[in-house]
Structure 1
């Protein structure tokens, strides 16, 4: 096994995280994520046999890894204990309440209305087009402040 902890190459190995989702109703999913949620279309391609893809920019991407105990805690706080899907997409938004309402009006099913979490964000959970479970979150506190509280660590 290769030890990557001593890698001296300053270039990141990964330069983009792209989540690829098959959407049975492509037009409805595109309208929901691009036009209602507001993800910017970076590129779109069409091919033979009605093949279509749209690449939507969702801003910065992170990979959040959680152990089962953390997932249960998040589910308890964010969705009254309802277990989340194994993979859930979280979008940071400026106004969680308004965006939640807009997405419900656009066809998302509300799982849990916006509520303040112990980590000082306003989170809601929805079942959205393309059969995705999503969380909307609005940060209520600066990261610098959050890192000073018990249970949080700075990078």
Structure 2
């Protein structure tokens, strides 16, 4: 039986990936290989979760790739605006969902869809 899962996003450009996930979204690099020089692999701490980035020549993602990353952030509107200002593609502007979260959809530099979420206060069933 599965004991745990660890998503790894294969990317063709590690520095561009780190600029998005580390610099723009605020994840922290907790492991990199090799320790010196250009990394081939990095583990990022994203809140209470970890995400791996692996250098893979010719890696592609994008619409229809069958993968979506979801990050809860403290302010969906501000995070989406900051990503847009940094030149990242916003696929869906922030909006309130019927299930009680404010959400937006952006793209990393390689086309991986990244959903940003934030609980709405009060939740719809708490009104």
Q: Distance in 1 between matches of 2:64 and 2:91?
A: 10
Q: C-alpha displacement at 1:105, in angstroms? A: 2.4
* Counterpart residue number, 2:56: none
Contact 1:22 / 1:130 at 8 angstroms: preserved in 2? no
Distance, in Å, in 2 between the alignment partners of 1:14 and 1:46 is: 27
1:46-71 deviations in whole A, cap 9, x for unaligned?
28xx661110012334xxxxxxxxxx
- Give the corresponding residue for 2:28: 40
Q: Gaps spanning 5+ residues in structure 2: where?
A: 50-62
Kindly indicate whether the alpha-carbon contact (under 8 Å) linking 2:14 and 2:39 is maintained by their aligned counterparts in 1: no
* TM-score, normalised with respect to structure 2: 0.74
Q: Which has the higher strand share?
A: 2
C-alpha displacement of 1:119: 1.1
Matching of residues 34-113 of structure 1 within 5 Å: 34-46=22-34, 52-61=40-49, 86-113=66-93
Higher helix share goes to which structure?
A: 1
Query: Are residue 137 (structure 1) and residue 117 (structure 2) matched?
Result: yes
Structure 1 segment 24-39 matched on structure 2, within 5 A: 24-39=12-27
| Rg larger in structure | 1
Distance of 1:110 and 1:37 partners within structure 2: 14
1:95-123, CA deviations, whole angstroms, 9 ceiling, x for partnerless residues?
Answer: 00010111122332111100000111110
For the aligned residue pairs, the C-alpha RMSD in angstroms reads 2.6
Relative contact order, CA 8 A, sep 6+: which one is greater?
A: 2
Structure 1 stretches of 4+ moved >6 Å: none
